[in-house]
Amino acid sequence: MILCQNCLHKEMLGAIFCSECGVQLIYAQGVPTSLVRMTTSKLRAKKIDMKSAPESVVNSDTLISLSIINTGDCLPLSSLNEVTLGRVSEGQPVVPDIDLTPYKAYEAGVSRLHASIRMIEDLVTVTDLGSANGTRVNGMQITPHIPCPVKHGDIITLGKFKIQLLLRNR
- Check residue 167 and give its pLDDT: 87
This prediction has a pTM of 0.65
What average pLDDT does range 6-19 have in this prediction? 75
Judged against a pLDDT cut of 60, whether residue 30 lies above it is answered with no
Q: What is the CATH code of the structural domain delimited by 42-167? A: 2.60.200.20
Q: Note the pLDDT tens digit of each residue in 117-168.
A: 999 888 999 999 999 999 999 999 999 999 999 999 999 999 999 999 998 7
Q: How many angstroms separate the CA atoms of 68 and 122, rounded?
A: 23
Domain chopping of the chain, boundaries: 1-28, 42-167
Contacts of 43 (CB under 8 A, 6+ apart): 53, 54, 57, 67, 72, 73, 74, 164, 166
The reported pLDDT for the residue numbered 150 is: 96
